[in-house]
Homo-oligomer: A and B are copies of this chain.
Amino acid sequence: MKAGTAILEAFYQAAGQFVQNDELARLLKVPPTRVNAEIADLEKLGYTIESHPHFGYRLLDTPDRLTADDIKPQLKTRIIGSEILVFDETASTNDVVEHLAKSGAREGLVVFAESQTKGRGRHGRAWASPRGKGLWFSVLLRPAVPPAAASRITVAASVAVARAIRQACRVDARIKWPNDVVLNGRKVAGILTELRAEADEILLAILGIGIDVNCAREDFPPEIAKMATSLQIETGHEQDRVALAARVLAALDDCYRAALADFEAIADEWAELGTTLGRQIVVTMARRRIEGFAHALDGDGALLVRKDDGQIERVLGGDLVVER
Contacts and interface: CB of A to CB of B under 8 A. Distances in A.
Contacts of A286: 144, 201
B200 A317 contact: yes
Interface residues of A, number: 29
A318 interface: yes
Interface stretch (A7-15, A38-46, A189-197): A189-197
A236 B317 CA distance: 52
B199 A197 contact: no
Interface stretch (A85-93, A145-153, A163-171): A145-153
Contacts of A146: 148, 316
A109 to B, nearest CB: 19
How many copies of the polypeptide does the oligomer hold?
A: 2
A104 to B, nearest CB: 12
A198 B147 contact: no
A148 B150 CA distance: 9
A123 interface: yes
A178 interface: yes
A103 B190 CA distance: 26
A99 B248 CA distance: 33
Contacts of A154: 199
A2 interface: no
A237 interface: no
A122 interface: yes
Given A123-B198, A178-B199, A317-B198, A150 B151 contact: no
A197 to B, nearest CB: 4
Interface of A: 122-123, 144, 146-148, 150-151, 153-154, 178-179, 192-201, 286-287, 300-301, 316-318
Given A194-B198, A198-B317, 18 more contacts: A123-B198, A144-B286, A146-B148, A146-B316, A147-B148, A147-B195, A147-B197, A150-B197, A150-B198, A150-B199, A151-B199, A153-B199, A154-B199, A194-B196, A194-B197, A197-B197, A199-B317, A201-B286
